[in-house]
Amino acid sequence: MNANTLTLRCGRARVHLLSDGTSYWDGGGTFGLVPRVRWMKLLPPDDLNRVPQELRCVLIEADGKRILVDCGVGDKPNDLIATQYDVRRPHGTLMDDLARHGLRPQDIDIVILTHLHGDHSGWATVLSAGAAHAGSEALHPLPTFINARYYVQRQEYEDATHPNERTRNTYFAENFVPLMHHGVLTLLDGEAQITPSVRVVPTPGHTAGHQSVIVEPTSNGAESAPVFLIGDMAPFMIHFERLPWVTAYDVLPMVTIETKRRWQRWALEQGAVLVSCHDTRQPVGRLVRNDKGLFSVVPLEAGGTAE
């Protein structure tokens, strides 16, 4: 399954998996308190103890709108980003993936940010000469998707604009503060219906203001299961299967566990199609009970909702 060309159907909506490349992160960060001897059997690290993480973004075509969920790391020459994210792009950037779908930045109507970490909000803005003062040659960040309305949780924006010692190297103001300055950012307070088919739900834990995205069929009698973009509530499918598996980056790990517990039940009851934001091996799947009675995420059946 090629995650960069995969399309899911949900009623009349189309959900296209895109990518801004693959980044390499320390395995201890990705798996937190899980002993290395356990997680390395599932995802062998390289010589620097790093594991690959897809910078997955999602394009939703629904209700006459083109909706982008998350924006990768972008291309700003930020030394912190260059240091933290070893990014490899053999197939190009998110912009290249959009172009392969025949889309330019100005064709995007809505941008939903699950949260504002640097690996999810990078392309929300781009550097442009003279953006601050006419005739200036200095580069200033401007909204990339000039016709789009951006959505993020108010709690997330507050935390991102007031970082602490632990979070200040995960938030980069140039990715999101210009959105507010240019009047294109909507701050949400909890669950919200973005279009008739697309809603966001709070899924706190990774950050206090983290949100996930649900795409649901709107036509009567539609048989499609909802598509659940889980974001960093569970960056890999194994994190969604196993409640105690929480990353070292989660600021509220016990909240993450309770959030996953709730949405595990929902995903199982709904037969939801899960989309992972970072899993390089299993980008999509469904949650089931295995023969031991434990949760497992299994691939979609051939001929199911994938195109």
Q: For position 85, which CATH number holds?
A: 3.60.15.10
Task: Determine, yes or no, domain membership for 304.
Answer: no
Contact assessment for residue 8 and residue 14, using Cβ atoms and an 8 Å cutoff: yes
Distant-in-sequence contacts of 238-245, Cβ < 8 A, 24+ apart: 238/39, 238/42, 238/297, 240/264, 240/267, 240/274, 240/276, 240/287, 240/295, 240/297, 241/287, 241/294, 241/295, 241/296, 241/297, 242/295, 244/33, 244/34, 245/31, 245/32, 245/34
Q: How confident is the model at residue 302 (pLDDT cuts 50, 70, 90)?
A: very low
Contact assessment for residue 205 and residue 256, using Cβ atoms and an 8 Å cutoff: yes
CA distance 142 to 157: 17
Task: Determine, yes or no, domain membership for 53.
Answer: yes
**Would you state the pLDDT for residue 303?**
37
Domain count, the chain: 1
Residue 222 in 3-state DSSP? coil
CA distance 33 to 167: 19
CA distance 56 to 150: 18
Task: Determine, yes or no, domain membership for 1.
Answer: no
Residue 117: which of 199, 31, 208 has the closest Cα? 208
Task: Determine, yes or no, domain membership for 279.
Answer: yes
C-alpha dihedral over 42, 46, 170, 250, to 10 degrees? 30
Helical (H) or strand (E) element with 155: helix 154-161
pLDDT digits 0-9 by tens, 37-87: 999 999 999 999 999 999 999 999 999 999 999 999 999 876 566 667 789
Residue 150: which of 99, 190, 113 has the closest Cα? 113
* Token couple for 167: 């979070």
**Would you state the pLDDT for residue 179?**
98
CA distance 202 to 229: 12
Task: Determine, yes or no, domain membership for 81.
Answer: yes
Task: Determine, yes or no, domain membership for 32.
Answer: yes
CA distance 33 to 98: 37
The parent domain of residue 81 ranges over 7-298
Task: Determine, yes or no, domain membership for 22.
Answer: yes
Task: Determine, yes or no, domain membership for 303.
Answer: no
pLDDT digits 0-9 by tens, 271-289: 999 999 999 999 999 999 9
Contact assessment for residue 231 and residue 25, using Cβ atoms and an 8 Å cutoff: no
Helical (H) or strand (E) element with 159: helix 154-161
pLDDT digits 0-9 by tens, 81-137: 666 778 999 999 999 999 999 999 999 999 999 999 999 999 999 998 655 555 556
